[in-house]
Amino acid sequence: MAPVAENWTILSVASGIVCCTVLYILILSFYRIYFHPLSKYPGPALWAASRFPSAYYLTKGVIPYKTLELHNRYGPVVRLSPNELSFILDAAWQDIYGKPAARNTQLMKDQNQFLTHENGVHGLLGEPDDSKHARMRRNLSHGFSEKALRDQEPIIKSYVDLLIQRLHENSKEPVDVVKWFNFITFDIIGDLTFGESFECLKTSQVHFWVQSIFLHLKNLVFMGLLSSYGLVPIVLFFLPQSIKAKEQRHKDFTKAVLKKRLETSTSRPDFLSLAQKQLNQPQGITFDELVPTTGPLIFAGSETTATLLSGVTYYLTTHPSIYAKLTEEIRTAFKTEDEINIVSVNNLTYMLAVLSETLRIYPPAPASFNRVTPPEGCMVAGHFVPGNAIVAVNQWSANHSTLNFTRPWDFVPERWLGDAEFKDDKGKVVQPFSVGPRNCIGRNLAFAEMRLILARLVWNFDLVLEEKSKGWVENQDVMMVYLKPPLMVKLNPVVRG
């Protein structure tokens, strides 16, 4: 008899625990949907009740697409999880990422979104403290000025020359342009950061450092998610030795090349020239801060520009009349290829519109960059948001919303050239480089690279998309960046008389 009684006791305790848990979840969900400070904001009840739906779509790589669906259904402000709002209004940019006069402070970066620190020391991209961030940024911004860019032009040009040479050598067969655009952008940023390139163009191969940063992406997104539940130490403990070894090799390499660059005395106008002069001084940046700065900087500076170049190639090769107009502009604006430089490309009005339209329809940073409201709350685009809530503008959904654009799914450069059909477009909602004190430091360089490379590419080749790459842009998963399949293009060299 005793074991039966014991079994009953265990069973009733277990069912008691289950009932209490279910009751707790129900009460919590009820509170979140109807009484939570964000409950007045629209969104699906399940998303308001729990973080799981948004976490599920995030890990599936489709959260920007899902966010657009929700904005289409619920309007310009949507509740994505119990404590999170998404905005697609142009005024939200300044209020979330800037320092609006009414507040005069920045909103803090959500520290649980991506894990970017190295043993607790943050780099430029992840630093939560505004004054530390400003100090680091002052030490680096020198290398990103207009003046620095002019001085860097010979370095940039040497890589563009090598890219064009390599593409000519490989033009007998279709090439994967995603790969080649990654090669050149990583080589340029590697050179301007570490004083030596990754030699991707030279060897026609991906350097292991570049490869491992791509592998690292999914981990970064998952770890960010887990960190909000305090689970990172447990996951790190169980992480397979092989992954830990790869991460370690990557870190060791970064430290070694960084050390080498900082020990080299050079007058090259690169990103670290001022940082080197003031290294480890109170107004300067420390070596430990540079380690977690340089990895994300190289990634942020190369993958984004390569994405934009891949996107523009796709849209041009699938829109023959736009491509013809662009070809006409580039091939008549210059007498020789040598005339194409970072100043002369700024006069190519149609090309600039083509690039603006690509930045809208295929923004290289499609993920949201989350910020947290201050404890007292703040106004965002005319809406009061209570304290400690996560807020963001998701570029991909803002740029594809009919609330902001006429025919948002159509690739139409003319919308940036004053075409009357698009007079109601909300162009200011397109902020591919973000705004405010933490906006993109590499904006000038990115524009110079994309304009120069596109103009030289179109000058040299007639581009034809391979059948198998039709629809390339559809259904790309987003893990912070797009996980892009190969984009196969036949490059037919232009024959000039």
Neighbours of 234 (CB within 10 A): 11
Buried b (16+ CB within 10 A) or exposed e, 415-435: bbeeeeebeebbeebbbbbbb
Q: Which residues pair with 465 in a beta bridge?
A: 489
- 319 within 8 A of 464, measured Cβ to Cβ: no
Three-class SS state of 98 = coil
DSSP track, 169-208: HTTTS-EEHHHHHHHHHHHHHHHHHHSS---HHHHTS--H
In 3D space, the residue among 122, 98, 74, 72 whose CA is nearest the CA of residue 369 turns out to be 98
- Is 270 or 425 the residue whose CB approaches ligand HEM more closely? 270
**Tokens matching residue 416:** 């940036």
- Is 48 or 257 the residue whose CB approaches ligand HEM more closely? 257
- Which of residues 221, 308, 392, 412 is near ligand HEM by CB under 6 A? 308
Is residue 440 close enough to count as binding ligand HEM by CB under 6 A?
Answer: yes
CB of 44 to ligand HEM, least distance (A): 27
Instruction: Return the range that interacts with ligand HEM (CB under 6 A); candidates 22-30, 298-306, 337-345, 484-492.
Output: 298-306
- Cα–Cα dist 152/142, whole Å: 12
- 301 within 8 A of 189, measured Cβ to Cβ: yes
Is residue 488 close enough to count as binding ligand HEM by CB under 6 A?
Answer: no
- Which of residues 178, 200, 210, 446 is near ligand HEM by CB under 6 A? 446
> Strand 371-372 to strand 108-109: parallel, antiparallel, or no bridges (unpaired)?
antiparallel
Is residue 261 close enough to count as binding ligand HEM by CB under 6 A?
Answer: no
- Is 49 or 200 the residue whose CB approaches ligand HEM more closely? 200
- Which of residues 117, 137, 157, 325 is near ligand HEM by CB under 6 A? 137
Whether residue 440 is annotated as binding a ligand: the answer is yes
CB of 401 to ligand HEM, least distance (A): 18
Is residue 177 close enough to count as binding ligand HEM by CB under 6 A?
Answer: no
Instruction: Return the range that interacts with ligand HEM (CB under 6 A); candidates 302-310, 330-338, 421-429, 463-471.
Output: 302-310
- Which of residues 61, 301, 366, 413 is near ligand HEM by CB under 6 A? 301
Is residue 76 close enough to count as binding ligand HEM by CB under 6 A?
Answer: no
Is residue 442 close enough to count as binding ligand HEM by CB under 6 A?
Answer: yes
- Binding-site size, ligand HEM (CB under 6 A): 23
- Is 127 or 176 the residue whose CB approaches ligand HEM more closely? 127
Is residue 269 close enough to count as binding ligand HEM by CB under 6 A?
Answer: no
Is residue 297 close enough to count as binding ligand HEM by CB under 6 A?
Answer: yes
- Cα–Cα dist 185/197, whole Å: 10
- Is 48 or 351 the residue whose CB approaches ligand HEM more closely? 351
Which residue's Cβ lies closest to ligand HEM?
Answer: 442
- Which of residues 378, 441, 455, 480 is near ligand HEM by CB under 6 A? 441
Is residue 445 close enough to count as binding ligand HEM by CB under 6 A?
Answer: yes
CB of 65 to ligand HEM, least distance (A): 18
DSSP track, 107-125: PEE-TTT----BTTB--TT
- 358 within 8 A of 308, measured Cβ to Cβ: yes
Q: Which residues pair with 372 in a beta bridge?
A: 108, 390
Instruction: Return the range that interacts with ligand HEM (CB under 6 A); candidates 161-169, 398-406, 426-434, 489-497.
Output: 426-434
- The H helix count followed by the E strand count for the chain is 18, 12
- 395 within 8 A of 111, measured Cβ to Cβ: no
- Is 65 or 369 the residue whose CB approaches ligand HEM more closely? 369
Contact string 375-414 vs ligand HEM (x = CB under 6 A): ----------------------------------------
- Which of residues 305, 313, 399, 404 is near ligand HEM by CB under 6 A? 305
Q: Which of residues 312-371 bind ligand HEM (CB under 6 A)?
A: 364-365, 369
R_g of the chain computed on alpha carbons: 25
Three-class SS state of 357 = helix
- 190 within 8 A of 155, measured Cβ to Cβ: no
Is residue 300 close enough to count as binding ligand HEM by CB under 6 A?
Answer: yes
Contact string 94-113 vs ligand HEM (x = CB under 6 A): --------------------
Query: Under the phi-then-psi rule, with left for phi > 0, alpha for psi from -120 to 50, and beta for the rest, what region is 260?
Result: alpha
Is residue 438 close enough to count as binding ligand HEM by CB under 6 A?
Answer: yes
CB of 463 to ligand HEM, least distance (A): 20
- Cα–Cα dist 304/356, whole Å: 14
CB of 395 to ligand HEM, least distance (A): 7
Is residue 125 close enough to count as binding ligand HEM by CB under 6 A?
Answer: yes
Would you say how long the chain is, in residues? Answer: 497
Buried b (16+ CB within 10 A) or exposed e, 157-191: bebbebbbebbeeeeeebbbbbbbbbbbbbbbbbb
Is residue 451 close enough to count as binding ligand HEM by CB under 6 A?
Answer: no
DSSP 415: G
Three-class SS state of 308 = helix
Three-class SS state of 380 = strand
Is residue 274 close enough to count as binding ligand HEM by CB under 6 A?
Answer: no
Binding site feature residues for heme: 440
Known binding residues? 440
Binding site for ligand HEM (CB under 6 A): 124-125, 137, 189, 297, 300-301, 304-305, 308, 364-365, 369, 432-434, 438-442, 445-446
